Amino acid sequence: MKKLRVLIVGAAFSADLHADAYSRILDKVEIAGICDKDMARVRALAARYGFEGFAEYDDYAAAIAACECDLVDVCMPNFLHRDVAVLALERGRDVVCEKPLATTVEDAQEMVDTARRVGKRIYYAEDWLFAPAFLRAQEIVASGKLGKPLYIRARECHSGSHSPFAQLLKYCGGGCMVHLGVHPVGFMLALKNNAWKELVAMTSGGKEHNLIHSRMEGEDWAGAFIRFEDGTYATLEANYVTVGGMEDVMDIYCEQGCVHVDLSHTGPVRAFSIPGLDYTVEKAEITTGWSTPAVDEKYSLGYCGEINHFVDCALRGEDAKVGLRGVDGLETLKVINLIYKSAREGIRIGNEAPKD
């Protein structure tokens, strides 16, 4: 069986998530190269997941030019997504790109246009679409036993980004909505085939207007109300003011029932520790006392499923499913920018533009 040759560009946080997923499917994936300006991170990532026989690079342009690969996995800070992806596409490689697709709609549009022009694909890494609990919730709704969905509430929240690039708008494109809210926004757009009707939003405003993070140029709280073309309403929230670990929560209210999903703080394991555990869940500030340690967090959050899907699609030369294509990442970023516009100008925004 032919293996897909992958070049991972970046060796920090998101690269770790993707590398873990690749390590589980080495029957169909070969890690051809890893690139990071910090070579110690490259070697640590490879050692952590048992990768061998790969090329090491400390410059992404040199890596893309030299590495014999089929797919370039862009695990870089937001402001570099466009540069790395366009270079890889022009080189004739398919691309996996982490969220958000870019820091500006213009850069995201250039990425999508480049992929179309050269006949390659962008796989947009939205892990929520493969989280097993969210998939099960969708199955329950699809069974018809709850009746028609009426209202969905979804949020991702934690106490603040670990990345130094998250503090300035030129590096990240926004605050918590573009970093965290990108997940519920992207999920809902995929669920509704990008067919939304109108939205209205509020944010904390950034810097001295923020609830806690006064040095952050982007907002640390944001909420949006969206009505979709099929009549479903949704409330989508993100914030950097939630302590106790990351919250990934969705509530689906239907005519004859409801579904509630919590990805991070429910599970089969409960533990009590006086000195504190080594790890419980992402972003948990303390691990003392009672906690619910994650069992297989990366799998539960959907990273393994999304990477496996991308590998299968790339091997077959196919687009990813709706919500996981470059055009979906572009539409998600457009909606997030309209959320910012609504909050900034205090207006309700309608969507009359034709869909791709």
Which of 86, 104, 126 is a domain's end point?
Answer: 126
Cβ atoms of residues 198 and 227 within 8 Å: yes
Task: Let me know whether 119 and 141 are in one domain.
Answer: no
Which of 126, 157, 179 is a domain's end point?
Answer: 126
| pLDDT on residue 356 | 46
Which of 70, 101, 126 is a domain's end point?
Answer: 126
What's the chain's length in residues? 356
| pLDDT on residue 165 | 87
In a domain, residue 242? The reply is yes
Whole domain around residue 285: which residue ranges? 129-302+333-350
In a domain, residue 75? The reply is yes
Task: Let me know whether 45 and 186 are in one domain.
Answer: no
Task: Let me know whether 106 and 135 are in one domain.
Answer: no
CA distances 25 to 12, 17, 161, 205, 260, Å, are 20, 14, 29, 43, 31
| pLDDT on residue 353 | 52
| pLDDT on residue 354 | 43
Task: Let me know whether 147 and 219 are in one domain.
Answer: yes
Task: Let me know whether 18 and 145 are in one domain.
Answer: no
Task: Let me know whether 222 and 277 are in one domain.
Answer: yes
Task: Let me know whether 69 and 87 are in one domain.
Answer: yes
Number of domains in the chain: 2
Task: Let me know whether 95 and 33 are in one domain.
Answer: yes
In a domain, residue 117? The reply is yes
Task: Let me know whether 197 and 251 are in one domain.
Answer: yes
Going from the first residue of the chain to its last (356 residues), give the mean pLDDT of each consecutive group of 10, the final group possibly shorter: 95 97 98 98 98 98 98 97 98 98 98 98 98 98 97 97 87 96 98 97 98 96 98 98 97 98 94 97 96 96 98 98 98 98 98 59
In a domain, residue 338? The reply is yes
Tell the residue number behind the tokens 């996981």, with chain if given: 324
Tokens of 205: 């405003």
3-state secondary structure labels for all residues of the chain: CCCEEEEEECCCHHHHHHHHHHHCCCCCEEEEEEECCCHHHHHHHHHHHCCCCCEEECCHHHHHHHCCCCEEEECCCHHHHHHHHHHHHHCCCEEEEECCCCCCHHHHHHHHHHHHHHCCCEEEECHHHHCHHHHHHHHHHHCCCCCCEEEEEEEEECCCCCCHHHHCHHHHCCCHHHHHHHHHHHHHHHHCCCCEEEEEEEECCCHHHCCCCCCCCCCCEEEEEEEECCCCEEEEEEECCCCCCCEEEEEEEECCEEEEEECCCCCCCCEEECCCCCCCCCCCCCCCEEECCCCCHHHHCCHHHHHHHHHHHHHHCCCCCCCCEHHHHHHHHHHHHHHHHHHHHCCCEECCCCCC
CATH of the domain at 85: 3.40.50.720
Tell the residue number behind the tokens 């030129």, with chain if given: 170
Residues paired with 200 in a beta bridge = 225
Task: Let me know whether 231 and 92 are in one domain.
Answer: no
In a domain, residue 240? The reply is yes
| pLDDT on residue 352 | 74
Task: Let me know whether 109 and 145 are in one domain.
Answer: no
CATH of the domain at 151: 3.30.360.10
Task: Let me know whether 166 and 66 are in one domain.
Answer: no
In a domain, residue 30? The reply is yes
In a domain, residue 252? The reply is yes
In a domain, residue 256? The reply is yes
